[in-house]
């Protein structure tokens, strides 16, 4: 949805009421933040549900996305956005970023794994 300032601005007696417009924007922004946080939580739950079904496994990203999308109620109109949300969630929480929930490796034996499901690394022999 695209909104232009000329249609978004609150007018009083034909003039733009700056404070009323700012108040409206703040309210809408706070609602947007709440919805985004709820969406992020739903995405996290869907991704973790896929890993719960595949404990300890490395999963390729297309499979992970493909399994998470139905849990999010994907439709043809939301597929692209939800795909990006799932990928963004995993990547932003992988390999030292964010909460470091996931490990992503490329190549043979690669894929994405939930860090908590990986075996603990043993200390290197000295």
Q: What is the pLDDT of residue 99?
A: 77
Q: Which residues of 28-54 are buried (b: 16+ CB within 10 A; e: fewer)?
A: eeeeeeeeeeeeeebbbebbeebbeeb
Instruction: Walk me through the domains of the chain, giving residue ranges and CATH numbers.
Output: 16-117 (1.10.10)
Q: With a cut of 70, list the residues of the chain below it in pLDDT.
A: 1-2, 34-38, 98, 121-126
- Round to whole Å and give the CA distance between 61 and 78: 18
Q: What is the pLDDT of residue 126?
A: 44
């Amino acid at each position: 949805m695209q909104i232009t300032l000329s249609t978004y601005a609150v007018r009083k007696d034909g003039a733009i009421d700056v404070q009323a417009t700012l108040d409206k924007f703040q309210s809408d922004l706070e609602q947007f933040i709440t919805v985004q946080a709820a969406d992020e939580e739903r995405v996290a739950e869907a991704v973790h549900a896929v890993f719960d079904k595949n404990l300890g496994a490395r999963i390729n990203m297309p499979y992970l996305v493909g399994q998470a999308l139905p849990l999010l109620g994907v439709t043809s109109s939301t597929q692209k956005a939800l795909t990006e949300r799932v990928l963004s969630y995993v990547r932003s929480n992988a390999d030292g970023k964010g909460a470091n929930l996931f490990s992503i490796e490329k190549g043979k034996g690669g894929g994405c794994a939930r860090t908590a499901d990986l075996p603990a690394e043993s200390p290197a022999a000295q």
